[in-house]
Amino acid sequence: MRSGARELWRAMRRDPMCLFGLILVLVTLSAALFAGFIAPYDPVKIDVANKFAGISAEHWLGTDHLGRDTLSRVIFGARVAMGIALSSILIAAGIGLFFGLLAGYGPRWLDNIILFIFDTLSSVPLILLALTIIAIAGAGTFTLVFVIIIVSVPTYGRLVRSQTLSLRRAEFILAEQSMGAGLLRILGVHLLPNVLGPLVIMVSMDIPTVVALEAALSYLGLGVKPPTPSWGAMLFDGYTNLRSSALPVIAAGLPLVIATLGFTFFGEALRDALDPKLKKGVM
Amino acid sequence: MLAYALKRIALALGILATVMFIMFAAVFLVPGNPARAALGPRATPEMLDKLTREMGLDQPYHVQVWNFFANALTGNLGTDVISNRPVAHEIWEVLPNTVILCAVALGWAFLLAVPLGCLAVLKRGSLWDRALGIFSVSVISLPYYVIAIYALVLFAVKLNWFPALGDGDGTWASYLNALVLPAFALGFTWVGYLARLVRASMLDVAGENHIRTARAFGVPERRIVTHHMLRAAIIPVLSLVFVSLGWLLSSAVVIEAIFSRPGIGQLVTKAVALRNYPVVMGCVLAMTAVYVAMTVIADIVIARIDPRIRDAFRGA
């Protein structure tokens, strides 16, 4: 991992886009972590007398249709976006890891069943799968996390499965087996560290996708409930009041642009630095 | 070949049936009666009883599943609990709109991306190639709905060039005019994605013998790129496009909601908000069927074009 960090540092000096990505990622993460200190106002405090205020020294990004400070809402929105994205991706990666190892190392019939379930889940177009779950379970933050987990598990599971499959016949695994190593030892000590690297890369590249999915569902009114400042919900509020002022909707789009671009450029550089084999990949 | 095709189709039908089966099980297992959800909190017990019977929810689970599949096979997807119209009819009405939007978006993206990808290959390693790479990654990662909303603010609200909502007032000119912004926003991501795909697939074949031979014979580089490399690269590009069609349909759902454009997306998002189960299930079945059918067709066509895939199957 140390050489990985050095690789990354070298890549950063070589590639300005990586540095650019890292800066955007740091901006987003610090907004999420220190929202309470950075934000100039309470993100849910309503001040109707001051609605649709333009850009000013008091309100850097103006105010929305209820007079709430847009900048503060954007900053607190980072906390919502990062909280939902990171927690659901981590859980999904854990579940994907479990089923991927099971499918890759377990008996053939189990592999077939798990693969069929993954295929079934990914054969429903993403948003429709999400909408179906929301229709059944009702909208809300928990459903949102659940939706992201369900749509992400097949991708992670498949990656872990193919890694495991390619390793299970490797000589060092055969050697361990012939020396009588238990299942847990082979899975935990040998396979896990080898599949973790690619999984970490894929997870980090998935962050922008998940942030965008969360905002899309919140935009459709099927995600985070008001008055919680979610970028997607802000986008919708701004869109509804577009004829009064275009500033809120433009301001709500900016953090989405910053976060998705940042994590994408950083993720690409991370991938190139840590796993040169994947460099040729298309996405 | 026939065996391969049949196996692919059987697998697709199995997946489709499983999707519906899981959805049914989920609706059945989750507490709360779909009839109650559709009627809202002010429903009287009599209304609830009547709708429960009409929706067939008083039947045992296996009867409900059987009825749904039997009906779906004959093209009957149940009745919309709110408008009381057949779901299949409602879907059929708006499906062409969604298909046109997707086709136009994909079309313009393809027409722009192929030359961009060729140019990147011709000048590989140049500043232009690098700029195109950054552009591609950027538009792939940018949320398409932010692009849609920004385009709407600029071109529909500020400049007033195109309508912000709907699909025109019935005339062809207004229909096309209303199609411009949604198709632009939906296709934008695909320009980057396709350009990247075209470039990568062409570089994959760049080292092959027939390309080297052509170069040794002094064929101009431009002709090699546009005639020999592009032809070999188009199959992998097309196969990946077909696999990504689910992504296109997903984005179309949100784009339709943004532009209030009649289509499957608008139908399903409204139905989800009202928890109108028959419509949600019908839309999911229809769109999943379209998507699965596309991937099957793509697989079969590619297996036909590329004998290696066919032989790999025979060997397995």
| Paired tokens of B85 | 């119209």
Measured between beta carbons, the chain A residues lying within 8 angstroms of B257 are 219-220
Average pLDDT of A112-120? 87
Phi/psi at B85 (nearest 5 deg)?
Answer: -105, 160
Length of chain B: 316
Q: How far is A105 from chain B (nearest CA, A)?
A: 20
With respect to residue A136, please indicate whether it lies within any of the assigned structural domains. yes
pLDDT at site A93: 93
Segments in chain B below pLDDT 70: 28-34, 36-43, 306-316
Q: What are the tokens at B27?
A: 């609706």
The per-residue pLDDT of chain A, averaged, comes to 82
B153 vs A contacts (CB less than 8 Å): 242, 246, 249-250
- On whether residue A253 sits in a domain, the answer given is yes
Chain A, 235-254: which have a CB under 8 Å from a chain B CB?
235, 239, 242-243, 246, 249-250, 253
How confident is the model over A62-110, as pLDDT tens digits?
777 777 888 888 888 888 889 999 999 999 999 999 999 888 888 889 8
Of A123, A219, A221, the CB nearest to B19: A123
- Cβ–Cβ under 8 Å, residues A234 and A210: no
Query: For chain B, which domains are there?
Result: 94-150+187-315 (1.10.3720.10)
Residue B79: strand, helix, or coil: strand
- What is the CATH classification number for the domain harbouring A272? 1.10.3720.10
Closest CA to B161 of B186, B184, B143, B145: B184
- DSSP letter for B30, please: S
Query: Contact at 8 Å (CB) between A261 and B137?
Result: no
In a domain, A34, yes or no: yes
Decide if B253 and A134 are in contact by the 8 Å CB cutoff. no
User: Between A and B, how many residue pairs show a Cβ–Cβ distance under 8 A?
Assistant: 135
- On whether residue A283 sits in a domain, the answer given is no
**Whole-number pLDDT of residue B316:** 38
Q: How far lies B188's CA from each of B84, B109, B151, B195, B250, in Å?
A: 38, 7, 11, 11, 15
Quote the minimal CA–CA distance from A250 to chain B in Å: 7
For residue A281, what pLDDT band results from cuts at 50, 70 and 90?
Answer: very low
Interchain proximity B30–A136, CB inside 8 Å: yes
**SS3 category, A63:** strand
Q: How long is chain A?
A: 283
Q: Which amino acid is at A5?
A: A
A249 vs B38, residue with greater confidence: A249
Please answer yes or no on whether A124 and B249 come within 8 Å at the CB atom.
no
Task: Domain count for chain A, please give it.
Answer: 1
Mean pLDDT of A124-151: 84
- pLDDT for B41 equals 66
Distance CA A57, CA A46 (A): 19
Closest residue of A to B264, CA-based?
A128
- Cβ atoms of B155 and B162 closer than 8 Å: yes
Q: Which residues have CB under 8 Å from A64's CB, separation 6+?
A: A51, A52, A70, A73, A234, A237, A238, A241, A248
ipTM at complex level: 0.82
Which of the 8 DSSP states describes residue B125? T
Contacts of A262 (CB under 8 A, 6+ apart): A20, A21, A22, A23, A24, A25, A27, A28
Q: Is the Cβ–Cβ distance between A188 and A129 less than 8 Å?
A: no
Spatial CB neighbours of B248, under 8 Å, sequence gap ≥ 6: B102, B105, B106, B186, B190
A49: exposed, middle or buried (Cβ count in 10 Å: 0-12, 13-18, 19+): exposed
Tell if the CB–CB gap between B292 and A127 is shorter than 8 Å. no
Q: Which chain B residues have a beta carbon less than 8 Å from that of A123?
A: 15-16, 19, 246, 288, 291-292, 295
C-alpha R_g of chain B: 24
- Those of residues 259-278 in A touching chain B at CB distance below 8 A are 260-261, 263-265, 268
**Per-residue pLDDT averaged across A160-185, rounded?**
81
pLDDT grade for A283, boundaries at 50, 70 and 90: very low
- For A187, the domain range is 2-278
Q: Are A223 and B108 in contact (CB under 8 A)?
A: no
pLDDT at residue B109, as a whole number: 92
Domain-located, residue A57: yes
Tell me the residue type at A98: F
Distance from CA of B96 to the nearest CA of A (A): 18
The pLDDT, as a whole number, for residue B32 is 61
Q: Nearest chain B residue to A259 by CA: give it.
A: B142
Proportion of chain A above pLDDT 90, given as a percent: 8
Q: Is the pLDDT of residue A282 over 50?
A: no
In a domain, A121, yes or no: yes
Please report whether residue A150 resides in a domain: yes
Name which of B152, B257, B288 is nearest A125 (Cβ-Cβ). Answer: B288
Q: Which of B80, B132, B139, B141 to mutate to test the interface with A (most CBs of A within 10 A)?
A: B141
Start-to-end CA distance of chain A, whole Å, equals: 24
**Which residue of chain A comes nearest to B281, CA vs CA?**
A132
CB contact under 8 A, A249 and B134: no
